[in-house]
Every structure is written in structure tokens, then in C-alpha cells.
Chain A
């Protein structure tokens, strides 16, 4: 699978990406790529730099290095422009607009197409088919929903822009196992339908079930690359984590 993945056209190429918070360098010269149609997982312990990696790709942190998306170099500090290029991040903590309704959140997800019209309706129906629970909540304020529903909204809102690459930061954080499984199952389905995904996840076994490839991040560096098929046991995983 690894070689098959490698043969796919690279759509996201990250080269020598470093990021710092003040005096602290959180990411050290990271190289990573995602191929067309791939689901790539980024694993690692808390504080390893996984979220910083995604935030740096989206221009939310001060960083150096090159991020190339579909042969175009992305600006380093213009998040809106990066989103307009077709990359959408579902951030850690979801970043939903809590005081606004579910419908308004979905409209803002489709901001780039004006949040209305036939195209908007088509996208909305698609998202509501993926997450039927949101359909009952359209007029409810997003902040009043359960954590799982909020995560569904966060993913649904991201899909409203019909991204060409979806980045997810810890989608399982704070969710019940059943809800996590439901959301990850949906992500797997989206990926099988052709959506490339870069998934940051602390719960490695869950991520490896879906991923074509995985990177392990440790102390701000890529410490290993994993072929999920080679992981047969916790010991195999631990070997990659601690090697």
C-alpha cells in the first residue's frame, strides 16, 4: 500500500517547515506530503507539534519553509487565501460559531460561493445526508449542541466549501467512543469517494485503521513514517513511537 500511495501524485508538499511560539521552536524542519486521494495520519503524543503543523500549513502561526499545494506555493500568513485555494482545516476545539445557528454556520462554510443559491442547497443536502442529526438542529444555536454534534457541524461546515484537501485536528477529542467511530467512519467514506485528508490524531489505532500512510511526530520532528499494514500490535506501534 505504501508504494501504491507513493506513486500517487503529490498534492500537498511540505518542505523544511519550522514554526515557533516566541522563543520556543515547536516544529523543526518538517517534510511531509499527501498524495491525491490519500488519507495521511499524523500521530504523536500531546505537545509533539502535530497541531502546530496544521496551523502552520494554514498560516495561523509564524513559520518558515515551503508549503506547496497542487503546484502552487501557499502564502505563509494569509489564512483566508489558503482556504480559498481549497484547503480547509477543522481545528482542534472545532471552532464553530457557537452563538450562531447550525444553518448560519453552514452558510459561512460556503462563504466562498455566497452562502446561498442552488449550489449551496446541493452542498447542504450532501452534508445533511452525511450527518442527518444536523438536519434536526438547523435552527438551533451551535453552542447548545452536544460535543459530538458540534464536531459533526465542524466537519460539515468544512465540507460546505467542497475542499480539495481536508485537514482535521484531533476530531475525536472529548468525544464518546461511539460518536468518534461515527465521525471517523464518515471521514473514511469521504476519503474513499476521493477526498484527500490529512488527519492529526492522538488515538493512533483509530487513525491507522483509516490511513494509507502515517507520520509520527515527536518533539517537533518527524520521527517515523508508518505503513499501517505493518502495525499488527501495540508493540509495533510503540516501536515507532519510541524508536
Chain B
């Protein structure tokens, strides 16, 4: 028998995790637009966001806001470091997309294994931001962390829109995505834009990880599944379209939720990959149309 409350609950959960996929997908797009690189280390940023916050909370007993902020800054700096020591040298040598993907996958594995050595293989979690009983609407229970995830995601989307539309640096990053050569001809420091795009993407990944960890957990190996989901979100939204990626993330989250509702949780990933295949066959340019 159709259970409306369970169905609605599943959709709310799907929306929440979809926002996370969307943020990761935006990270893919920001780097791709600035450089043409698909960065598969994006999942590592998500994992590190939650993990560093956990370490700061448990070892230094910092307040959540401080621990989270430090984690975001550290991960953003790590993004710049990866850009400088791995991506830039290959980019300067005009490495192919294939080489770039392999290099960023290698970075993902190095970060994953280093985390395993440093913090072990046990899952870690952090407390929810607002420790209150969930809000109940009808038979649907909405946790405060879900509201945090959706709210912060929407605020980030608005801030990103302002950044890309209203600031000169944001416009310069868009210019790089449209025509890198022409951007350089205007004196725009294209390589600095690349570093900035890594910082921005890494910070977005870290925020996604911090938001998500209280509702699930984090462990050294959660990055890859998130990277794949974020990548699918970016393709579904239209690769290179940050706001399309967010829509793609929500579509993916909802599709997974519906699969769980109708077919059971075992088919969650089948649903995700089916969404990808459907888009690749029927609308390869994604919801908003691929940027390139």
C-alpha cells in the first residue's frame, strides 16, 4: 500500500543529499570552466571537510563554527597546493584530459591513504549543528541538519551567483571558461584563476562534507562515491554549468530516493547510474546545456 508519509520523507532525504551532490558537482564545474580539467580529487575534499572538523572537535575541542571554518580554509589551501604541485606542471605541458584525470585520481588515492594512516579506518561523525528534535509536518520528520544542508546550499548558490555575475574576479573566471586565450590577452592572470578555482571547489567540497557528516559519517574512503555522484550531477546539469550541476544534484538525489522508495536501497546506485545513462543517451548536454 502506498505510504504517503514514507514517500514524502524519502523525497525530503533525497532533496537533502541532492544538495550535497549539487555542491560537489559545482566544484567539478568551477575547475572545469577555468581549466578544462575534470578533477576527480573532488571527493577527497568532501571527506577531508568532515574529517578535519572531526579531528579539531575531538582533539582541540574547538567550537563547531571554528572547527568547520578552519577545515574549510585548510581544504581550500590544499586545493591550491594540489593545483600548484600536480595540476599546473601538467597543464603547462598541455597534458591531455586523460592524463589529468589519472593525475587527480592519483591525488584522491594519496589523500585517502594518508587519511587512513593518520586517523584509522573507523567511521567518524560530528554532532548535528542544532541539537533539537526534528520538526514534524504531517507524518514527515524534518531534522534540523536537513534544514542546514538545504539552507546553506541555497545561500552558497546565491553567493556564487553574485560572485560570478557581479565581481570582476568572478567575471574574469567566466571569461577564462569562455575563451582562455582571449582572457589572457586582457591581462587576466589565467593561471591565478586556475588556483582560485581549485580553492573555491575545495572549499565547496569541504562545506558539503561538514554539512553531511552529522547525518551520515565520514571515513577515509567516502570520497570516491561522492566524487562519482557529484560528477553525475555535473553531467546531468550540463557540464560546466555550476547552477545546472546543482539542479543535476537535486535530480540525482531525488532519483535515488525514489529508487529506495520503490525498489529498495540496494538499487540506489543503479538509479544514479541509470539517470546518467538516460541523460547521456537522450540529452548529453544536460539540463541547462553543456558549457563546452
A86-129 interface (Cβ within 8 A of B): 88-89, 91, 95-100, 104, 107-109, 111-112, 114-116
Contact partner of B190 among A80, A84, A89, A157, CB < 8 A? A80
Query: Among A91, A96, A104, A161, which residue has its beta carbon within 8 angstroms of that of B181?
Result: A91
Are A161 and B178 neighbours in the complex by a CB distance under 8 Å? Answer: no
Q: Any chain B CB within 8 A of the CB of A83? A: yes
Q: CB distance B185 to A114 under 8 Å?
A: no
Least CB distance from A185 to B in Å reads 24
Tell whether A95 pairs with B171 under 8 Å between CB atoms, given A80-B190, A100-B178: no
Distance to closest chain A CB from B291 (angstroms) = 9
The reply to whether A97 and B178 form a contact with Cβ atoms under 8 Å apart is yes
**Which chain B residues border A60 with CB–CB below 8 Å?**
181, 184
A84 CA / B187 CA spacing, docked (Å): 5
Contact with A along B183-195 (1 / 0, CB 8 A): 1111111110000
User: Which one, A91, A98, A115, contacts B185 given CB within 8 A?
Assistant: A91
The interface residues of chain A lying within 8 Å CB-to-CB of B172 are 108, 111
8 Å CB interface, A119-141 against B: none
Are B187 and A112 neighbours in the complex by a CB distance under 8 Å?
yes
Task: For B189, list chain A residues within 8 Å (CB).
Answer: 80
* With known contacts A100-B171, A111-B168, A111-B172, A83–B186 Cβ distance under 8 A: yes
Q: Are A108 and B181 in contact (CB under 8 A)?
A: no
A95 touches B179 (CB 8 A): yes
B174: interface (CB < 8 Å): yes
Which of B168, B181, B185 sits near A107, CB closer than 8 Å?
B168
For the complex, what is the distance from the CA of A116 to the CA of B184, rounded to whole Å? 19
Bound CA span A157–B182, Å:
11
Please name all residues of chain A whose beta carbon is closer than 8 Å to the beta carbon of B186 when the two chains form the complex: 83, 88, 108-109, 111-112, 157, 161
A121 to chain B, nearest CB (A): 15
Q: Does A58 contact B (CB under 8 A)?
A: yes
**Least CB separation from B192: chain A residue:** A80
A96 engages B182 (CB within 8 Å): yes
Q: Report how far A108 CA is from B193 CA in the complex, Å.
A: 14
Known: A107-B168, A108-B171, A108-B175. A83 touches B182 (CB 8 A): no
Contact with A along B41-70 (1 / 0, CB 8 A): 000000000000000000000000000000
- Cβ contact of A83, chosen from B168, B171, B179, B187, cutoff 8 A: B187
Beta-carbon contact of A107 and B171 below 8 Å = yes
State whether B175 touches A100 (Cβ < 8 A).
Answer: yes
Knowing A107-B168, A111-B168, A114-B168 touch, does A83 contact B185 (C-beta < 8 A)?
yes
* Residues on A with beta carbons closer than 8 Å to the beta carbon of B174: 97, 99-100
Give Cα A79–Cα B193 distance, bound, in whole angstroms: 14
Assembled-state Cα–Cα distance A99/B190 (Å): 19
Roughly how many angstroms separate A97 CA and B186 CA in the complex, as a whole number? 11
CB distance from A124 to the nearest CB of B (A): 14
CB A106 to nearest CB in B, in angstroms, measures: 10
Minimum distance in angstroms from A243 CB to a CB of chain B: 34
Q: Are the C-beta atoms of A80 and B187 separated by less than 8 Å?
A: yes
* Smallest CB separation, B93 vs chain A (Å): 11
B-side contacts of A114, CB under 8 Å: 168
Chain A 68-88 residues near chain B, CB threshold 8 A: 79-80, 83-84, 88
Q: Is the CB of B178 within 8 A of A98?
A: yes
Judging by beta carbons under 8 Å apart, are A115 and B168 in contact? yes
B185 touching A116, Cβ below 8 Å: no
Smallest distance from the beta carbon of B161 to chain A beta carbons, Å? 15
Shortest CB-to-CB span from B182 to chain A, Å, is: 3
- B residues less than 8 Å from A116 (CB atoms): 168
Chain A 142-164, CB within 8 Å of chain B: the 1/0 string? Answer: 00000000000000010001000
Q: Which residues on the B side are within 8 Å of A83 (C-beta)?
A: 184-187
Residues of B within 8 A of A95 (CB): 179, 181-182, 185
Known: A107-B171, A108-B172. A99 touches B178 (CB 8 A): yes
A235–B287 Cα distance when bound, in Å, is 59
Rounded to whole angstroms, the CA-CA distance of A201 and B76 in the bound complex is 47
Q: List chain B residues, Cβ under 8 A from A98.
A: 178
7 intermolecular pairs with C-beta atoms under 8 Å apart: A58-B185, A99-B178, A108-B172, A108-B175, A108-B188, A115-B171, A161-B187
Besides A79-B190, A83-B184, A95-B179, 7 other A-B contacts (C-beta < 8 A)? A79-B181, A83-B185, A91-B182, A97-B179, A99-B174, A107-B168, A112-B186
Q: Which A positions have Cβ atoms within 8 angstroms of B?
A: 58, 60, 79-80, 83-84, 88-89, 91, 95-100, 104, 107-109, 111-112, 114-116, 157, 161
Chain B contact residues, CB within 8 Å of chain A? 168, 171-172, 174-175, 178-179, 181-191
